[in-house]
Amino acid sequence: MIETAKLTAVVFALGGSLAWASPAPVHATDTTATKAAVRKSEARDAAARDAQRLAAWAFNSRDHAGLPSIVVDKVNARAFAYDRKGGLIRATPVLIGMGRGDTIPSGIMQMDMYLTKPSQRITPAGRFFAEEAPNEHGKRVLWVYDEGGIAIHKLPEKRTKQRRHERIVSANPDDHRITYGCINVPPAFYDQVVHPHFRGKGGMVYVLPEKTTLKAVFKSYDSEIAGASLLQSSRELQPAEVRPF
């Protein structure tokens, strides 16, 4: 048997003869893909923490004005609904705009939305006072950014070519980017959470940024106030409580 510190090959007996088998080489593309996956995972973890911090800040600073609130985490395609006292009601997967960004491009509101480019179909980040009212089809929706035509509404009842029903239950947040900017939620979430809590007086909707910091979007955001814990952290939510349908 040959012994040398410089050899990493392994000797195998093949058909009575010896053959050298070296470990599979690590390609640069594999390393690049791994690094990209790590960066994406870290970004998702950071966004999840930001969602918790923002909710804590909103209630501890009374920025929510004593109203129910929804925090939308675009990076993870999740939304968290809180009651007036800061208690977590329910979390849900959501569908959001195809485009990545935090502001609606100028001129988009003067365009037919069906003629916009996918990159222009952005769910804007920000703090919004949201009220429930009918849309142009007479269906009840929660208007988040009325001037921009952005609302939280139910997933379409019928199956679509965009496969929205399949996308909303996908474990990959990238699959959830399919709307023109509105936030789609499961019908049960809208009927059991949004409508009961937001009808009448409305509430606050906080859409987290994905291209900039919380402070850049929420000017009065204070990380020290955000450090205080909520009555129920989103990390305490049990899987059984997350009901997509």
Residues 89-144 have pLDDT tens digits of 999 999 999 999 999 887 777 777 778 898 899 999 999 999 999 998 899 999 99
| pTM exceeds cut of 0.95 | no
Residues 144-159 have pLDDT tens digits of 998 888 999 999 888 8
Cα torsion angle, 212, 214, 215, 220, sign: positive
Nearest to 132 by CA among 59, 225, 70, 217: 70
Whole-number Cα distances in Å, 62 to 16, 88, 91, 220:
79, 16, 21, 11
d(CA 78, CA 61): 23
Residues 192-219 have pLDDT tens digits of 999 999 998 999 999 999 999 999 999 8
Q: Which three-class secondary structure state does DSSP give residue 49?
A: helix
Domain residue spans of the chain: 48-241
Domain 48-241 classification at class level: mainly beta
